[in-house]
Amino acid sequence: MTILAIDLGTTNSACAVWRDNDVVFIPNKLGEFLTPSVVGIDDKGEILVGQGAKERLITHPNMTVAVFKRLMGTSHKVAIHKTSFTAVELSSLVIKSLKEDAEAFLNSTIDEAVISVPAYFNDNQRYATKKAGELAGLRVGRLINEPTAAAMAYGLHEKKEGIFVIVDLGGGTLDVTVLEFFEGVMQVHASAGDNYLGGEDFVEAMVDAALKAHGLKRADMTPEETHQLSMKMETAKRRISGPEQLVSYTVAGTSYSSKIDTEWFNRTATPLLIRIQKPVESAVRDAGLSLTEIDEVVLVGGATRLSVVRSAVGRIFKKLPACTIDPDFAIVKGGAVQAGLVQKSAALDDLVLTDVCPFTLGVDAVDEVNGQFVEVFSPIIERNTTVPVSRVSRYYTVQDNQTEIVTRVFQGEHRKPSKNVYLGSLRSSVPRNKAHQEAIDVRFSYDMNGILDVDVTVVSTGRTYNKVIKNSPASLSDDEFNKSLERLQKLKFHPRESERNRALMARGERLFETALGEERSAIAALISGFEAVLNRQNAMEISKAQEEFEQALEQFDLEEWH
Ligand code: AMP
């Protein structure tokens, strides 16, 4: 049995397996280890996933979608051309693509996965992730918190003892987790985060700052112009520690340029860097620790390559953060270690893992204040409690002759139930009696997968009611799940063997659209030449042409900056 570890990232996804006592990263059909979390439909109505779709974000913005991880757990739909998709469906297409890559690479079928999720994901989002895996034809035996996975990647290889903090700044989310390694046992003490802070926000800030300096606004730009500027700023961000760069772009058809250097970037990034501090402090505080008690700080997530991020984190803790494992692969590596654990590999016998419940779970209760009834949120499992956990609380009737108690389950930190996330409800019958004479015991059991089991026992009759929370607003019913499955099965997929050609052509087209004059003609000639080779359908010739075409395009991508 091989379990596929999947890091389903906001920007990129990756997968790996545990084989022969080690982690094996899986290359995709383009030979790369990162697959952009982008889905599109091509001109023939076929689904494209990964680099081929990403290249078309600029040229075909209405046919391509990205960053849908942020919508997980909501019922929001995204349109690609004439078809609309939920984030679960889009994620399932990415997972399906990874599954196919792994099956092709390992030459065996895979039907089980461990998928990583941000520690801050609520139950809806966790449930949605599980469903995305199932829609892709995988049994999702376990979800693993991303920082926990990253810690496992580090823990196994360094065997450190002590308390440390994982700061994971990816494309769209920040996760901060406080962990303790002790005698081979890894325990998550606390986690906090910001679901709306990531590397992409630095790009957005760069775009805004550049436009502002020219007295321009986003509203002045066409969607294509915005995409192009964002792509250029993304490249500029990655080279920000190098020499000053000149970024040229068009706004409403007029050309502009901005000079970008490290100092400009640091200034632009400051408001975002400040936002890192709050979740760090709250996670450390929730763990009952102070910043000085942290032995080591570990950075993961692509955006931690930015030196400003490294120094901002360093300043908070007053110590240099560790970043020895490639931030793009730390999580999937840890996921594969976890998969190995599940596969009961002997090499991992001594590693035990605990996890925490990232949000407070409770029910709405009625409190009497000055003779008036007010609804309050009554926590049963406090956030950052180590899981699996089972806790019970007793609640009484509030009216004479009350025959029913409705237990409404919420997740969140607000005093008012209505301000928290509603997860579901459970009705129980109680005998008629005077107010406060009848009671129910509400037991919450929360497991490693973030699934909540609610048991209600009526104290006087002993009658029990149970509910596994499933009908949260954004989760799929079995019927909806089957409908999704049916819809996805009808989609036509781009043939795997031509995926690389497709991605190269899309890249050529993108460069053609952004280039001008002679460069443009040269790119057009390259595209036509490559197309001609494809039409001749000679495998050897195609393989050679792919290399040459790719190298030539690489040059044009680089030249844009000179
Ligand atoms: P992740 O979600 O962990 O894959 O992180 C993706 C984010 O990392 C994106 O916002 C990228 O812009 C950012 N990123 C990747 N490489 C670099 C780099 N060399 N310098 C700065 N940011 C990077």
Each residue's pLDDT tens digit, 551-560: 999 888 876 5
pLDDT band at 335 (very low <50, low <70, confident <90, very high): very high
Q: Nearest-CA neighbor of 480 among 144, 79, 127, 98?
A: 127
Tell whether the model's pLDDT for residue 185 goes beyond 70. Answer: no
Confirm or reject: Cβ of 302 under 6 Å from ligand 1: yes
CB 457 within 8 A of CB 443: yes
Catalytic residue among 146, 175, 296, 364: 146
Q: Is 531 a catalytic residue?
A: no
pLDDT band at 208 (very low <50, low <70, confident <90, very high): very high
How far separated are the first and last CA of the chain, in Å rounded? 51
**Which residue from 306, 310, 332 has its CB within 8 A of the most atoms of ligand 1, so it is best to mutate?**
306
pLDDT band at 497 (very low <50, low <70, confident <90, very high): low
Question: pTM for this structure?
Answer: 0.70
Q: Is 69 a catalytic residue?
A: yes
496 C-beta neighbours (distance < 10 Å), count: 12
- Biggest CA–CA distance in the chain, Å, is 88
CA atoms in the 13 A half-sphere facing the CB of 462: 0
In ligand 1, which atom is closest to the CA atom of 169?
Answer: 3
- What number is the average pLDDT over the span 89-117? 95
- What number is the average pLDDT over the span 483-509? 80
For residue 188, what pLDDT is reported?
Answer: 76
What separation in Å is there between the alpha carbon of 309 and the centre of ligand 1?
A: 11
Confirm or reject: Cβ of 306 under 6 Å from ligand 1: yes
Q: Is 486 a catalytic residue?
A: no
Confirm or reject: Cβ of 118 under 6 Å from ligand 1: no
What separation in Å is there between the alpha carbon of 123 and the centre of ligand 1?
A: 27
**Which residue from 305, 307, 309, 331 has its CB within 8 A of the most atoms of ligand 1, so it is best to mutate?**
305
Sequence ranges of the domains in the chain: 4-197+270-356, 199-269, 357-488, 492-562
Confirm or reject: Cβ of 150 under 6 Å from ligand 1: no
Looking at 3.90.640.10, 2.40.50.100, 3.40.50.2300, 1.10.10.10, the CATH number of the domain 199-269 comes to 3.90.640.10
What separation in Å is there between the alpha carbon of 301 and the centre of ligand 1?
A: 7
Q: Is 168 a catalytic residue?
A: yes
Each residue of 539-552: b (16+ CB within 10 Å) or e?
eeebeebbeebbeb
Sorted by sequence, the CB contacts under 8 Å of residue 478 that are 6+ apart come out as: none
What separation in Å is there between the alpha carbon of 170 and the centre of ligand 1?
A: 6
The pair of structure tokens assigned to 483 is 């409908």
Confirm or reject: Cβ of 70 under 6 Å from ligand 1: no
What separation in Å is there between the alpha carbon of 234 and the centre of ligand 1?
A: 9
**Which residue from 7, 10, 11, 34 has its CB within 8 A of the most atoms of ligand 1, so it is best to mutate?**
11
CA nearest ligand 1 atom 20, residue: 238
Peptide bond into 388 cis (omega under 30): yes
Tell whether the model's pLDDT for residue 478 goes beyond 80. Answer: no
In ligand 1, which atom is closest to the CA atom of 12?
Answer: 4
Which of 146-150, 184-188, 203-207 tops mean pLDDT? 203-207
Tell whether the model's pLDDT for residue 476 goes beyond 80. Answer: no
Confirm or reject: Cβ of 234 under 6 Å from ligand 1: yes
Tell whether the model's pLDDT for residue 418 goes beyond 90. Answer: no
Instruction: Give me the chain's average pLDDT, please.
Output: 87
CA nearest ligand 1 atom 19, residue: 238
What separation in Å is there between the alpha carbon of 411 and the centre of ligand 1?
A: 31
Tell whether the model's pLDDT for residue 350 goes beyond 50. Answer: no
For residue 471, what pLDDT is reported?
Answer: 40
What SS3 class is residue 119? coil
Name the strand (E) or helix (H) holding 14: strand 12-19
Confirm or reject: Cβ of 73 under 6 Å from ligand 1: no
For residue 37, what pLDDT is reported?
Answer: 96
Q: Which residue has the higher pLDDT, 373 or 409?
A: 409
In ligand 1, which atom is closest to the CA atom of 199?
Answer: 10
Confirm or reject: Cβ of 170 under 6 Å from ligand 1: yes
CB 192 within 8 A of CB 283: yes
Radius of gyration of the chain (CA): 26
CA distance 96 to 106: 15
CA nearest ligand 1 atom 6, residue: 171
CA distance 499 to 494: 7
In ligand 1, which atom is closest to the CA atom of 301?
Answer: 3
193 C-beta neighbours (distance < 10 Å), count: 26
Catalytic residue among 168, 175, 194, 296: 168
What separation in Å is there between the alpha carbon of 40 and the centre of ligand 1?
A: 21
Beta bridge partners of 287: none
Query: What 8-state DSSP symbol labels residue 49?
Result: E
Tell whether the model's pLDDT for residue 349 goes beyond 70. Answer: no
What separation in Å is there between the alpha carbon of 63 and the centre of ligand 1?
A: 24
For residue 193, what pLDDT is reported?
Answer: 85
Residue 164 C-alpha from the chain's centroid: 22
Beta strands 386-387 and 355-356: pairing type? antiparallel
Residue with tokens 């697959």: 35
What separation in Å is there between the alpha carbon of 199 and the centre of ligand 1?
A: 6
pLDDT band at 75 (very low <50, low <70, confident <90, very high): confident
CA nearest ligand 1 atom 12, residue: 199
pLDDT band at 561 (very low <50, low <70, confident <90, very high): very low
Q: Which residue has the higher pLDDT, 120 or 271?
A: 271
Catalytic residue among 7, 101, 201, 355: 7
What separation in Å is there between the alpha carbon of 314 and the centre of ligand 1?
A: 19
CA nearest ligand 1 atom 18, residue: 238
Confirm or reject: Cβ of 125 under 6 Å from ligand 1: no
What separation in Å is there between the alpha carbon of 305 and the centre of ligand 1?
A: 7
- What number is the average pLDDT over the span 127-155? 87
Q: Nearest-CA neighbor of 82 among 118, 50, 45?
A: 45
CA distance 451 to 126: 8
The reply to whether 4-197+270-356 and 199-269 are identical in fold is no
Q: Which residue has the higher pLDDT, 172 or 407?
A: 407
Give domain 357-488's CATH superfamily: Substrate Binding Domain Of DNAk; Chain A, domain 1 (2.60.34.10)
In this predicted model, what pLDDT tens digit does every residue of 276-333 receive, in sequence order?
999 999 999 988 999 999 988 989 988 999 999 999 999 999 998 978 889 999 999 9
Sorted by sequence, the CB contacts under 8 Å of residue 322 that are 6+ apart come out as: 154, 296, 297, 298, 299
In this predicted model, what pLDDT tens digit does every residue of 233-252 receive, in sequence order?
999 999 999 999 999 999 99
- In Å, what is the CA distance from 325 to each residue of 80, 199, 301, 449, 558? 36, 18, 10, 26, 27
The pair of structure tokens assigned to 532 is 């001609």
Beta strands 46-49 and 39-41: pairing type? antiparallel
**Which residue from 70, 175, 237, 298 has its CB within 8 A of the most atoms of ligand 1, so it is best to mutate?**
237
Alpha helices in 107-197 (DSSP H): 123-135, 146-158
Q: In this structure, is the dihedral angle defined by the CA atoms of residues 120, 125, 127 and 129, taken in order, positive or negative?
A: negative
CA distance 13 to 95: 9
If you classify domain 4-197+270-356 with CATH, what class do you get? alpha beta
CA distance 143 to 149: 10
Sorted by sequence, the CB contacts under 8 Å of residue 381 that are 6+ apart come out as: 357, 360, 361, 362, 389, 391, 444, 446
- What number is the average pLDDT over the span 145-156? 79
